[in-house]
Amino acid sequence: TKGTTMLRPQDTSTRETKRLDGLWSFELDGDSAGRDAGWFRGPLPSPRDMAVPASFNDLTADAAVRDYVGDIWYQRTVRVPRGWTDQRVVLHFESATHRATVWVDDHEVVSHEGGYTPFEADVTEFVTPGEEVRITALVNNTLSFQSIPPGVIEDTAAGKAQRYWHDFFNFAGIHRSVWLAATPQARIENLTVVTGFSGDVGSVDFAVETADSDGLEVRTVLRDAAGREVATGSGATGSLRVDDVHLWAPGHGYLYDLEVQLVDDTGVVLDTYHQSVGIRTVEVRGTEFLINGDPFYFKGFGMHEDHSTIGKAHSPAHLVQDFELLDWIGANSFRTSHYPYSEDVLDYADRHGIVIIDETAAVGLNMGLGGGIFGGQGYTTFSPDTINETTREVHAQAIRELIARDKNHPSVVLWSIANEPESDTEGAEDYFRPLFDVAREADPSRPVGFVNVMLAPHGSCRVSQFADVLMLNRYYGWYVNTGDLAGAEIAWTEELTGWASEGKPIIITEYGADTLAGNHSLTPQPWSEEYQVDYLDMNHRVFDACEAVVGEHVWNFADFATTSGIMRVDGNKKGAFTRDRKPKAAAFALRRRWRKDA
């Protein structure tokens, strides 16, 4: 699948959508027998009901389902809207974790690798408007050394077991909406905007790709938030001039609407598509991170798409609540740790002026992690048998698909191409060098970085040299100097001083302490709410003393589910909020720091 030239389904005067969320038939296929047996040719043999969107893992009362690894079948029928005659019909998945193959009736239409980016198939020839079709998706959630994120299936005395090196539960299934969408045959296929400004005059550079459009003309109309036309253009590429520009800025999500039209020589509009545009610039200068030329300081969190019951599914109610809490606490930004989030999240951030560090699902490329002394024993991270050139190609494609999907969001200011990979070896340097090029080629307009792990401290990291911004995850006072905040402060200050000498801006992308809500202590004891507050205070003293630090993202916004392990009690408890979004003492402390007005 192309994966990089597609537009999100949209209702316009020439386009129509039908969302396929709801209950689907569902069946686990532990022997991977369904494909050969042709399960897509008719109803699944013994299905149960499953919600879409949802992670399937926590919806049944069965441990074998929760921990299942392998082939998973989803199926439903849908009636194609009768008005879609002569239209091009596509079947669009916002995501399927971690890969999927899809059939429409008996026809295989698309396969896609990667659990957090969209894919679609042109199914026009297999559907008849007004009639029903059967849609079958074979999802697979196995992680291997050639998947992003990586994992390995190990033989144990009790059978096969999935192992991976990232610290969140391997939720899987169909996590976001599935759509049938109709477009005209002559159509707009892709659109890229890059914005700028000089004084009062803004610019919107655009590049439109079309299909089946011989003899047709591309027209563009830019309207302000009140719907007034402010600029028009003709041709597939160009630059719109915006007088008295109203900038998009942190805390101020001002959006223009760019309408792209495909017009015939009599002036009839054959296709039209709308794109929200925030006019703003992003630049790294010395140790500063500039948005619209103004120094920006990131305040916020590394987050997760993680809730009880639905796992990693997108839900509008949870989206609203999480953004309300971000606003309450005074956060101006977050990182989509550790994978691309639902596109609805980015749309919301665009509209509300929230700043995003957008991350691929490349997490756990580090055999040194995963439970301390029980870490990745027996594996070399980068080697022909483990993470290798094939993996790098999958990783490159994940970067391309992330950027293709999110390039037009003003909220996104920085790409993170990996979280905490091994980065202190020659293998790591060779692996990553070309991946930075992939990102810069896909988007020359934004800075690129990756998130450095404490196992590769200043002086030993061989990958940071490629990054525009230094992103550091550090746990002084938690994983090291545990309970010893005075010692932590000294060690942390020393390391940070080293990084500051690199002359690049530094964002602390993680710092945090596990905290059991309701556990209190008069003296600073780890796991207590008071210790979490003291731990954060200590970190803030260290950051405030370092000029090059341009941001602080606490790990994590909320407690979240992980794989089982001796380091985790009912998941990771480093949230400022509990998993059900109740504030810990740290939430109030952060609010006092981040909202000096509150």
Residue 338's φ and ψ, nearest 5 degrees, are -120, 50
120 vs 101: CA distance, rounded Å? 11
Using Cβ positions, the residue closest to ligand GCB within the complex turns out to be: 167
Give least dist CB 469 to ligand GCB, A: 17
Is residue 420 part of the annotated active site? The answer reads yes
- Selecting among 259, 420, 422, 552, the annotated active-site residue is 420
Contact, 262 vs 210, CB < 8 A?
yes
Report 335-354 residues binding ligand GCB (CB under 6 A): 338
Is residue 213 involved in binding ligand GCB (CB under 6 A)? no
Question: DSSP characters for 242-291?
Answer: ETT----BTTB---EEEEEEEE-TT--EEEEEEEEE----EEEETTEEEE
Tokens of 525: 């004891």
Q: Residue 83 or residue 565: which is nearer to ligand GCB going by CB? A: 565
Q: Residue 120 or residue 167: which is nearer to ligand GCB going by CB? A: 167
Q: Residue 213 or residue 366: which is nearer to ligand GCB going by CB? A: 366
Contact characters 111-140, ligand GCB, x per CB under 6 A: ------------------------------
Q: Residue 100 or residue 418: which is nearer to ligand GCB going by CB? A: 418
> What interhelical angle do 529-544 and 485-500 show, nearest 10?
30
Among the listed residues 59, 195, 572, 587, the single contact to ligand GCB using CB under 6 A? 572
Contact characters 223-252, ligand GCB, x per CB under 6 A: ------------------------------
Give least dist CB 1 to ligand GCB, A: 29
Among the listed residues 71, 167, 306, 359, the single contact to ligand GCB using CB under 6 A? 167
Q: Residue 99 or residue 574: which is nearer to ligand GCB going by CB? A: 574
Give least dist CB 476 to ligand GCB, A: 12
Give least dist CB 269 to ligand GCB, A: 47
Q: For residue 272, what are the β-bridge partners?
A: 261
Among the listed residues 473, 515, 532, 539, the single contact to ligand GCB using CB under 6 A? 473
Is residue 306 involved in binding ligand GCB (CB under 6 A)? no
CA atoms within 13 A on the CB side of 364: 27
Give least dist CB 471 to ligand GCB, A: 11
Contact characters 253-292, ligand GCB, x per CB under 6 A: ----------------------------------------
Q: Residue 195 or residue 452: which is nearer to ligand GCB going by CB? A: 452
Q: Residue 290 or residue 516: which is nearer to ligand GCB going by CB? A: 516
Give least dist CB 575 to ligand GCB, A: 10
Report 442-471 residues binding ligand GCB (CB under 6 A): none
Is residue 574 involved in binding ligand GCB (CB under 6 A)? yes
Is residue 401 part of the annotated active site? The answer reads no
Give least dist CB 353 to ligand GCB, A: 26
Residue closest to 473 by CA, chosen among 571, 397, 574? 574
Q: How many CB atoms lie within 10 A of CB 262?
A: 25
Report 477-516 residues binding ligand GCB (CB under 6 A): 510
84 vs 208: CA distance, rounded Å? 25
- Return the amino acid letter for 363: V
DSSP 547: T
Q: Is residue 332 left, alpha or beta, with left meaning phi > 0 and alpha meaning psi from -120 to 50?
A: alpha
220 vs 234: CA distance, rounded Å? 6
Type and span of the H or E element at 426: helix 426-442
Give least dist CB 237 to ligand GCB, A: 40
384 vs 392: CA distance, rounded Å? 11
Residue closest to 193 by CA, chosen among 257, 129, 252, 127? 257
- Selecting among 489, 510, 530, 552, the annotated active-site residue is 510
Report 416-445 residues binding ligand GCB (CB under 6 A): 419-420
174 vs 584: CA distance, rounded Å? 32
Give least dist CB 560 to ligand GCB, A: 8
Number of residues that bind ligand GCB (CB under 6 A): 9
Report 537-566 residues binding ligand GCB (CB under 6 A): 555
Q: Residue 101 or residue 572: which is nearer to ligand GCB going by CB? A: 572
3-state secondary structure of 164: strand
80 vs 247: CA distance, rounded Å? 42
Residue 380's φ and ψ, nearest 5 degrees, are -100, 135
| Chain centroid, CA 223 distance in Å | 29
Residue 224 neighbours by CB under 8 Å, 6+ apart? 230, 246, 256
Q: Is residue 311 left, alpha or beta, with left meaning phi > 0 and alpha meaning psi from -120 to 50?
A: left
Q: Residue 271 or residue 514: which is nearer to ligand GCB going by CB? A: 514
The footprint of ligand GCB (CB under 6 A) covers: 167, 338, 419-420, 473, 510, 555, 572, 574
The residues carrying an active-site annotation are: 420, 510
